[in-house]
């Protein structure tokens, strides 16, 4: 497959959640590419191998631009955006921009156990008061710059998988935690959307998203009997779901 042909094919753009990086997709990417599907994973500024760029200036728009920059650099003409966890905020903002700037480029939005904002909401909008306060408190040692990752056991991981994720997680930029996202909700809702619900164990902070997608029309909801990091715990099953979505979107 030539570079030009690859750019024309519908490609996955995988966006990791909080504390993670593109590294978390390394078990999934080869499975997608083995099916002759272009797939790219972006590392958001200040995280993963880009942790050295952590600064007070990083906000939601920085991370949205990270996604847009990958799409532009790879000259992708048709994309399926996949956002994990916090990155539900990021792919929503990127989708709004794509639909405005490059109509026809976005074929599907996948929220992988992810935050699902309405216009004007922040990542923190539907967290409990206890969770909000805990994250504010956790940011204080860094002067409000970032907050540290939790033990990966909370994602349902154990053994070597838990150790691997714990070693690689990095502090999450804090400024974006309470930053509202403004976007055209009606425009984004026109895109085919799938929510992948990771149910065993179910992460409590994702509960509002689970409720929303089951109470609104035009959502495809799929379930995985695994924890919050299925790209680590069940990469083959996740890749199969994504390839099915891709086939319907191509």
Catalytic residue IDs: 85
CA 19: distance to chain centroid? 11
| Cα–Cα distance, 39 to 212 (Å, whole number) | 28
Place of tokens 């966006």: 15
- Packing angle of the helix pair 87-101, 60-73 (nearest 10 deg): 60
Give start and end residues of each alpha helix (H) in the chain: 3-8, 29-34, 60-73, 87-101, 129-139, 159-168, 185-189, 207-215, 230-233, 235-249
Tokens of 112: 């992988």
Burial 168-186 (b: 16+ CB within 10 A, else e): bbbbbbbbbbeeebebeee
Report whether 181 contacts 93 (CB < 8 A): yes
Report whether 235 contacts 165 (CB < 8 A): no
């Amino acid at each position: 497959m030539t570079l030009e042909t690859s750019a024309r094919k519908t490609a996955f753009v995988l966006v990791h959640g909080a504390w993670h990086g593109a590294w978390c997709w390394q078990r999934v990417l080869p499975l997608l590419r083995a099916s002759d599907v272009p797939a790219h994973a972006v590392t958001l500024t200040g995280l993963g191998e880009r942790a050295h760029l952590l600064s007070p200036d990083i906000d939601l728009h920085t991370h949205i631009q990270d996604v847009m920059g990958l799409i532009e650099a790879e000259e992708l003409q048709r994309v399926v955006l996949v956002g994990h966890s916090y990155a539900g905020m990021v792919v929503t903002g990127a989708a709004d921009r794509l639909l405005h700037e490059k109509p026809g480029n976005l074929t599907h939005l996948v929220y992988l156990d992810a935050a699902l904002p309405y216009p004007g909401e922040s990542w923190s909008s539907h967290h409990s008061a206890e969770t909000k306060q805990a994250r504010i408190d956790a940011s204080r040692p860094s002067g409000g710059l970032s907050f540290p990752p939790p033990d990966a056991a909370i994602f349902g991981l154990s053994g070597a998988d838990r150790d691997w994720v714990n070693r690689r997680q990095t502090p999450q930029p804090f400024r974006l935690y309470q930053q509202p996202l403004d976007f055209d909700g009606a425009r984004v809702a026109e895109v085919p959307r799938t929510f992948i619900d990771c149910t065993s164990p179910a992460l409590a902070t994702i509960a509002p998203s689970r409720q929303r997608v089951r109470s609104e029309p035009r959502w495809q909801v799929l379930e995985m009997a695994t924890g919050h990091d299925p790209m680590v715990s069940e990469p083959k099953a996740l890749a199969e779901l994504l390839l099915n979505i891709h086939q319907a979107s191509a």
